């Protein structure tokens, strides 16, 4: 999975937001707000990590089960797919 060029994650006032730039802004208007975990998931995917790798890192950092973490990662990935954020 690769995030399409033009979608960027920014931290504004302690909150993560995803905005579209360049060509991506022609079909996606507005922004998406993410919480801390959502921001970390986005960053991991942006680095090319698998959903399992991202889930393991989240589980270790927040002391939750890998199963719960993987559910959260998959949920965000599904939302990202619906919005057209992946190539």
Length reported for the chain: 87
- What is the model's pTM? 0.91
49-69 tens-digit pLDDT: 999 999 999 999 999 999 999
Whether pLDDT at 1 is above 90: no
pLDDT of residue 57: 97
**Helix, strand and coil in the chain, % to nearest 5:** 55, 20, 25
Q: Are 22 and 5 in contact (CB under 8 A)?
A: yes
- Report the pLDDT averaged over residues 37-50: 95
Whether pLDDT at 13 is above 90: no
| For the chain, domain boundaries | 7-83
Q: Report helix, strand or coil for 50.
A: coil
- Model confidence at 14, pLDDT cuts 50, 70, 90, reads confident
């Amino acid at each position: 999975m690769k995030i399409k060029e033009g979608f960027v994650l920014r931290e504004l006032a302690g909150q993560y937001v995803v905005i579209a730039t360049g060509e991506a802004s022609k079909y996606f208007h507005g922004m998406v707000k993410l919480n801390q975990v959502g921001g970390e998931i986005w960053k991991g995917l942006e680095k090319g990590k698998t959903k399992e790798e991202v889930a393991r890192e989240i589980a270790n950092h927040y002391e939750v089960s890998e199963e719960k973490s993987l559910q959260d990662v998959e949920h965000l990935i599904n939302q990202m797919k619906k919005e057209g954020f992946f190539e």
